[in-house]
Structure 1
Amino acid sequence: MSEDATRFEWARPRTGDRDRVDRAPGRDPTRRTARDDRPPAGKLASGEPRTADGRPRVRTATVDAATANSPSESDGSADPRVQFAYRGGGRFESRPVVCEGTVYLGCANGGTHAVDGDHGTERWSASARDRSTGPAVAGDVVCTATEQGTVAARDAATGRRRWEFEAAGRVQTAPTVADGSVLVATTDGHVTALHARDGSRLGTFRNAARAVCSLAVAGERVVLASLDGGAYAHDRTDGREHWRFDPSVAVRDAPAVADGTAYLTTVDDGRACAISAVTGRLQWRADVSESAWAAPTVADGSAFVATTDGTVRALDAEDGARRWRARVGGRLWASPTVAGESVLVGDDAGTVTALDRDDGTTLWRYRTGAPVVAPVTVAEGTAYVADRSGTLTALSLP
């Protein structure tokens, strides 16, 4: 066992907070709210162009000038070039993970795929009996989890199974890797740390929320989000809770932490919030939409926020003041990706849009064959776009 892995000496689940999930006063649990909405299933239209083998044909979108963000659309001289399109045979709903020239994808229909990042050839694929989360790479293993709670680690090069672990509950979010350990959250609020080498259990703690749907590691803390309500921070060493933020509203994505501040969005009331990553105290709050499902992306003093009304906003990371606002064609379910001077977003209308980071004008748009509900991943000048038809498209950025 590595020295880093032994840091996870977590306490047993505490019973005092076992059922503590504060609710907003007077909320009617039968009333439909923004949290009841979900990303679309995204079936291809019958007229969608396909290749000879049945794949959706990749193409550049025709953009209605009335909805364009920039004064004029791209003339094509600075558009991305399609490097390859890989068809995985299922639905891709999670972010592609790129490591040492290989792209790893989790399939919502079950299974994991490893694809050459330059040419799009399949290196290996592995099936699963149930819906799979997105992957997490820990050294030479790739870890995924199924909705029923099976955590599996496979050899990153060959796909051979290394180990399995049966979690005590359902899993709906990708594992997170930190210091030789794999962290897994179940929907009943438990977070378990496993040794990446052999899957042995290092410890567990219990979060107050009943619906943990996202987690991340920020320094010495584990931050979590819950559709049951709120965002939370726990100590990485012993699992004790450091703070909880606004447990009366749903939070879909774990906060993004930068320079001692945690940035998050709320599903129910569509706000972007900045809180102290140390104390959980609110620093600023900005109304951005009726609903926001994805965490902000923070870069160079700006917090970029994507919302389900199809809008991207750039906010000042210090005080939340709006710098610019841009509208794209479809609804946005995933965090923006900052790549150089561009901000990339994929929408559920099947369009990837590149916005100028300084003023939000449209640089280019690319049309896929199906809804995009996962963040775009950029590595070595290539943008990897996973869509719900099961296609991974690699775009060489201009």
Structure 2
Amino acid sequence: MRDESVTRSPSAEIGRAGDSPRVRFRVRVASRVETPPVVRDGTAYLGCANGSIHALDAADGRRRWSTRTEGRTTAPTPAAAGDVVYAGTDAGRILAVDAETGESRWEFSATASVQAAPRVDDGTVFVAAADGRVTALHAADGSRLRTFRNASTALCSLAVDDERLLVASLDGGAFAHDRTDGRERWRFDPAAAVRSAPAIADDAAYVGTVDGGRVCAISANTGRERWRADLGASAWAAPAVGEGTVFVASTDGSVWALDAADGTTDWRTDLNGGVWASPTTTGKALLVADDAGRVSALDRTDGTVLWQYRATAPIVGPVTVAEGAAFVADCGGTVTALSLPEGCRSLPEGCRER
């Protein structure tokens, strides 16, 4: 597809010419998309509501392969080596497919619906099911290594680091487990619905709550609360954390920058659309997608709107930044890659791609 100018919102204050992105490609996949594209080694992988998984060329959007399974799929998870892609479905299936061809490598039947994207680390695939069971599978063949039960059910998000498995529950709470034996290390706010696993930065974990509309900083080792900030609306997604700042968005369209040390507000910007996904930090900008179908680039230092792009339908998943572009999937089934201006291409120190 030809390169074309970004559609600008007439209500937005747009930056100087040359500071806005351009459309690299725009492709329809003919199914509702609620999860973010995942980009690895020149390929963008996409899970869809109709059970399909697509692999697109990250440079031009050309479809490399598609496969379909039973149930709504999670965001695909490529292995670090890049040769296998894993996904879960709300029919309780875990799929491992060849990253080059889409052909099945193995399947595993979980004990309940899987809403959280599987996580892959050190040859192990971790799976969280809605009934509260967390299972570790051998990445090569899908054989079960171990299973443990979380204290709450309705598990909807899973993260892993060198020491912990972190899970979120809409029935209530965020939890940390030892990744080797499943022993619970801590639980936080089990009375509040939590949609996204905590974001870890240094020795702190940052949690947003659906109930009560709060973001909290807790010890990553003990789960003890350090501070909390009231947002006035639900924080459906995990914060993005980097360079001493916690960026969090809420369903009323507010985007906040909070001091990571004490939770005081550095700035707040109000967008005219609810935000259901984590902000994405890249270079000087914070990219935020909303259910009005916009991607807004905010200046990380003061929240000023740098530019906006309007998609074809609401966006409920985060923006993925990779290979010099922002990849956006909307609920109408359109995937767009925006070639980013120079100042938005690199992640600042301490920030992680989401």
Alignment coverage as a number of residue pairs: 337
Identity %: 60
Q: Is the 8 A contact 1:114 1:123 kept in 2?
A: yes
C-alpha displacement of 1:130: 1.4
- Give 3-state SS (helix, strand or coil) of 1:384's partner: strand
Q: Is the 8 A contact 2:49 2:73 kept in 1?
A: yes
Per-residue Cα deviation, 1:41-76 (whole angstroms, up to 9, x for no partner)? xxxxxxxxxx9xxxxx99513332xxx5xxx43354
1:85 matches 2:85? no
1:366 matches 2:309? yes
Q: Which runs of 5+ in 1 are unaligned?
A: 1-50, 52-56
C-alpha displacement of 1:368: 0.5
Correspondence for 1:395: 338
Match of 2:70 among 114, 129, 144: 129
Correspondence for 2:56: 115
Cα separation, 2, equivalents of 1:143 and 1:290: 33
Query: Between Structure 1 and Structure 2, whose CA radius of gyration is higher?
Result: 1
1:157 matches 2:104? no
Q: Is the 8 A contact 2:70 2:91 kept in 1?
A: no
Cα separation, 2, equivalents of 1:58 and 1:109: 31
Per-residue Cα deviation, 1:140-185 (whole angstroms, up to 9, x for no partner)? 1101111011111000011110000011111111111111111111
Q: Is the 8 A contact 2:6 2:21 kept in 1?
A: no
C-alpha displacement of 1:96: 1.0
C-alpha displacement of 1:218: 2.2
Q: TM-score, normalised by structure 1?
A: 0.83
Cα separation, 2, equivalents of 1:395 and 1:101: 15
Q: TM-score, normalised by structure 2?
A: 0.93
Cα separation, 2, equivalents of 1:160 and 1:132: 16
Cα separation, 2, equivalents of 1:141 and 1:297: 27
Correspondence for 1:170: 113
- Give 3-state SS (helix, strand or coil) of 1:151's partner: strand
1:317 matches 2:263? no
Correspondence for 2:241: 298
Per-residue Cα deviation, 1:346-372 (whole angstroms, up to 9, x for no partner)? 100000000001110000000000011
C-alpha displacement of 1:91: 1.1
Cα separation, 2, equivalents of 1:58 and 1:188: 46
What is the aligned-residue RMSD (CA, Å)? Answer: 1.4
Correspondence for 2:167: 224
Cα separation, 2, equivalents of 1:84 and 1:339: 20
Q: Which amino acid aligns with 1:114?
A: A
Q: Which has the higher contact order (CA 8 A, sep 6+)?
A: 1
Q: Which runs of 5+ in 2 are unaligned?
A: 342-354
Q: Which amino acid aligns with 2:31?
A: G
Q: Hey, which bits of structure 1, 4+ residues long, moved more than 6 A?
A: none
Q: Is the 8 A contact 1:132 1:145 kept in 2?
A: yes
Distance 1:301 1:369, change over 3 A: same
1:185 matches 2:132? no
Higher strand share: 2
Q: Is the 8 A contact 1:58 1:367 kept in 2?
A: no
Q: Which amino acid aligns with 2:124?
A: S
1:351 matches 2:294? yes
